């Protein structure tokens, strides 16, 4: 566990922040959208649990083509 503490979190923090922003953008889009490909609740889980990939998958496949 001591090795774990050696990891400089200040370097990794930006990744987490960016992921959170991405997730927030995805959720904003999802909530404002009336129609999605597949159930709304499924996309909530995909975005929240799927990390980076979840949000990307939502942006590419979740939004019904306008």
Partner 1 sequence: MKGLSVLLQKEWRENARNFKLYWIPIVFVIFGIIEPVTNHFLPEIMKSVGNLPEGSEFTWPQFRGEDIFVSLMGQYQLIGILIIVLAFMGSISGERKSGTATLLYVRPMSFGSYFLSKWIVVNGIILGSVWLGFFAAWYYINILFNPVAAGDVFAFLATYSLWIIFAVTVVLSFSAWMPTGGTAGLSILVLIVLQVIDSVIGAFWTVSPWKVATYASMMFSSITNQSGFWMSIGLTFVLIVVLILFGINMAKRNAAKTTV
Q: One symbol per residue from 42 to 61: x for binding partner 1 (CB under 8 A), - otherwise; what is it?
A: ----------x--xx--xx-
Give me the least distance between CB of 39 and partner 1, in Å please. 21
Decide if 54 contacts 48 (C-beta within 8 A): yes
Give me the least distance between CB of 26 and partner 1, in Å please. 7
Q: Alpha-carbon dihedral of residues 28, 41, 33, 22, nearest 10 degrees?
A: 30
Contact flag: residue 4 with partner 1 (CB under 8 A): yes
Give me the least distance between CB of 45 and partner 1, in Å please. 19
DSSP structure string for 16-35: HHHHHHHHHHHHHHHHH-S-
């Amino acid at each position: 566990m001591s090795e774990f503490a050696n990891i400089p979190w200040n370097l990794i923090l930006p990744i987490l922040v960016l992921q959170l922003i991405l997730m927030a953008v995805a959720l904003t889009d999802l909530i404002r959208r009336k129609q999605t490909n597949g159930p709304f609740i499924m996309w909530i889980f995909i975005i929240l649990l799927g990390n980076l990939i979840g949000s990307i998958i939502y942006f590419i496949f979740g939004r019904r083509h306008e």
